[in-house]
Amino acid sequence: MEPLNKSLLRSLPKVDDLLKNPSILELMPKIPRTVIVDAVRRAIEVKRQEILAGSYTGGPEDLEQLVVQKAIELSKEEIKPNLRRVINATGVVLHTNLGRALLSCSAKEAVEAVASSYCNLEINLNSGKRGSRYEPVEELITRLTGAEAALVVNNNAAAVLLALGTMAKGKEVIVSRGQLVEIGGSFRIPEVMAQSGALLVEVGATNKTHPQDYQKAITAETALLLHVHTSNYRIVGFTRETTVEELVQIGAERQIPVMSDLGSGFLVDLAPYGLPQEPSVQEVVAAGADVVTFSGDKLLGGPQAGIIVGKRKWIDQMKKNPLTRAIRINKFTVAALEATLREYIDQDNVLKNIPTIRMLTEAPAAVKDRAEKLLALLKEKITSPAQIDLAPGTSQVGGGSMPTAELPTYLVTCVAEHLSVEELSVRLRLAEPAVVGRVQDNKYQVDLRTVQPEEIEPLADVMSRIINSREGTGR
């Protein structure tokens, strides 16, 4: 070993001394001591390795400061939460990988109110006796949907599992071949059916299923006619699906209940805002379906939940199924769902206050305002050569809902001269706040439909910081 290395190694600061360094002491109230001590040890080790590898270029007198800097960086990295907020610049409103629906302010406040307080989750404050956790939302759901009874479980996949297991365990369930859908990876109708203990009876063809197909398939073992809303894809052209109304008619003749899995059930008509005409939960209930299931965090715009509405006879049986206990909702879901549903009492509030609905129905001109604001800020802040433009584009509903809907939107597109589009995308993902946008046509694209007004400034800051800096990601 060269003498220079030896003297550098000897100059490496000691853990105990570093723990008295003012910059390190400053971290103490905010970061656990054990994390800091560990970071200091690792920081010394990093510098030791640099010295041994001959890549350390500073002098012995710089070592303490460099180790301190590294230790601060490592400490901060260590306490950074693994789950953190992300600016959604994809334009996909119900982005399942980004957590689907944003809660309304009222829902957020309702969650906060019960988070670190006790609440009357299962106690009836009038009688002082045991109450049901479903009570706060049941009445609202039945009022809004017109159904006799309601139950809420962890998510819609669980709702379907519970409904099938309760209504058709060991019996046959008839489903159209055109409705044997897969919804995001692990939820496939045939597999959920197998899990529930019900036996799948497929009828019709991929593109066409007629009422007679169901009628012919009915046996003494038939327990249910299932209609699945093929929410995430469309078969177009020579097609025919049997409607819920037709199934209800067949079911009535043969005394067999009908269930409709709506997936992204919604309570307000979005067709006036340019979205596809699809049946609402109320319409499917009114059509006579015995049981209807839908998600809480798709078009309803609430917390993750699976909402089951329908005839009291079936809902009561589901409540008694032991599976219900395993997939029950927690107090946060009850709080957020109640507040979300209360917004639906007045339709004007829905459009204003439910972020999902607000984003889906927002006029392109309003999105353009935000795009122009971001564009102006970027032009002001970015000093490195880059091409920043405003362009029209299309946003998607997402969450497997309304796959054919194209929402006109505005994008801010960005190409930096010294940074590839891929690299820019990676660095924005790793930044604070993290940003997830689109890479298309060799441009980084920010779709303003899903960027909230208060996120414009932080977004401009983080984008300009990355484009202006010339360091690599080290990846």
Ligand X SMILES: *Cc1c(COP(=O)(O)O)cnc(C)c1O
What is the contact surface with ligand X in residues (CB under 6 A)?
A: 155-157, 160, 183, 187, 228-229, 231, 261, 263-264, 295, 306, 400
Q: How far is the CB of 308 from ligand X (least distance, A)?
A: 12
Q: How many CB atoms lie within 10 A of CB 105?
A: 11
Which residue type, as a one-letter code, is found at position 448?
Answer: L
The nearest distance, CB 264 to ligand X, in angstroms, is 5
Which one-letter amino acid corresponds to residue 140? L
The smaller minimum CB distance to ligand X, of residues 71 and 300, is found at: 300
Tokens standing for 155?
């998510």
Minimum gap (Å) between residue 245 Cβ and ligand X: 18
The answer for residues whose C-beta is within 8 angstroms of residue 408's C-beta and 6 or more apart is 364, 392, 393, 394, 395
Which residue, 92 or 456, is less far from ligand X as judged by CB?
92
- Comparison of 39 and 103: residue with beta carbon closer to ligand X: 103
* Positive/negative CA dihedral, 30, 34, 40, 43: negative
Strand bridging mode 187-188 / 182-183: antiparallel
| Main-chain phi, psi angles of 64, to 5 degrees | -60, -50
Instruction: Compute the least distance from the CB of residue 282 to ligand X, in Å.
Output: 18
Nearest of 297, 230, 454, 268 to residue 361 by alpha carbon: 268
Longest dimension (CA), the chain: 96
**Which is nearer to ligand X, 158 or 378 (by Cβ)?**
158
Residue closer to ligand X, measured from CB, 306 or 437: 306
* Nearest distance from C-beta of residue 462 to ligand X, angstroms: 30
- Which residue, judged by CB position, is nearest to ligand X in the bound state? 263
CB of 189 to ligand X, least distance (A): 8
Tell me the residue ranges of DSSP E strands in 320-422.
386-398, 407-416
- The least CB distance from residue 356 to ligand X, in Å, is 14
The continuous run of DSSP H or E covering 357 comes out as helix 355-361
CA distance 396 to 222: 39
Q: How far is CA 258 from CA 37, 173, 177, 255, 307, in A?
A: 63, 10, 17, 10, 16
* Contact between residue 412 and residue 388 where contact means Cβ atoms under 8 Å apart: yes
Nearer to ligand X, 388 or 402 (CB): 402
Considering the complex, state which of residue 88 and residue 264 has its C-beta at the smaller distance from ligand X: 264
Q: Which is nearer to ligand X, 279 or 306 (CB)?
A: 306
Q: Given the complex with ligand X, which of 190 and 453 has the nearer CB atom?
A: 190
- Least distance in Å: CB of 202 to ligand X? 17
Q: How far is the CB of 124 from ligand X (least distance, A)?
A: 29
Contact 306, 158 (CB under 8 A): yes
Residue 269 near residue 299 (C-beta atoms within 8 A):
no
